[in-house]
């Protein structure tokens, strides 16, 4: 479903505020683009299955050089790599074929107390508090 003009305007305002607040993050977002780096889910599943097979096979076989099940260790490492790959390749909001559950994701939007009544974020309030304590001295 396309966004209305009002929603598009609000999204542009949020983006410009984000770019003004954190230019380093904005440049990294511009580099990756909307689609980001996404690995196929089949590769993750195949690595996980291979890792489990190696893990169980290493325990079942009597191949233990030095008394240590090396094949099981390799299986664990393959499963760990599959997990890392799965976590690093989560689909982004703009990736083709990915269903988005709602509007644009805004940092802190899911937290009820992320903004105070004056509109400042939690981190800016904590920075102000720290500065006041530092200026007061011991």
- State how far the Cα of 61 lies from the Cα of 75, in Å rounded to an integer: 13
Contact of 51 with 85, CB cutoff 8 Å: no
Q: What is the pLDDT, as a whole number, of residue 14? A: 83
- State how far the Cα of 18 lies from the Cα of 136, in Å rounded to an integer: 32
Q: What is the pLDDT, as a whole number, of residue 40? A: 72
The residues of the chain scoring below 50 in pLDDT are 34, 36, 93-98, 100-103, 108-112
Phi, psi torsion values for 121, nearest 5 degrees: -80, 165
- State how far the Cα of 106 lies from the Cα of 87, in Å rounded to an integer: 20
- Closest by alpha carbon to 61, among 80, 49, 78, 74? 74
Q: What is the pLDDT, as a whole number, of residue 80? A: 93
Look at the pTM and tell me if it is higher than 0.85: no
Token readout for 84 is 């890392």
CA 76 to chain CA mean position, Å: 23
DSSP three-state, residue 113:
coil
**How many C-beta atoms lie closer than 10 Å to residue 52's C-beta?**
15
- State how far the Cα of 103 lies from the Cα of 90, in Å rounded to an integer: 18
């Amino acid at each position: 479903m396309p966004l209305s003009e009002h929603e598009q305007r609000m999204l542009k305002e949020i983006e410009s505020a984000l770019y003004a607040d954190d230019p380093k993050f904005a440049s990294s977002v511009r580099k990756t683009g909307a689609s980001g780096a996404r690995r196929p889910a089949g590769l993750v599943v195949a690595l996980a299955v291979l890792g489990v097979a190696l893990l169980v096979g290493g325990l079942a076989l009597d191949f233990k050089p030095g008394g240590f099940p090396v094949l099981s260790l390799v299986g664990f490492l393959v499963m760990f790599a599959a997990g890392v790959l799965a976590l690093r390749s989560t689909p982004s909001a703009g990736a083709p074929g990915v269903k988005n559950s709602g509007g644009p994701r805004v940092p802190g939007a899911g937290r009820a107390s992320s903004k105070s009544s004056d509109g400042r974020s939690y981190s800016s309030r904590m920075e102000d508090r720290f500065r006041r304590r530092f200026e007061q001295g011991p």
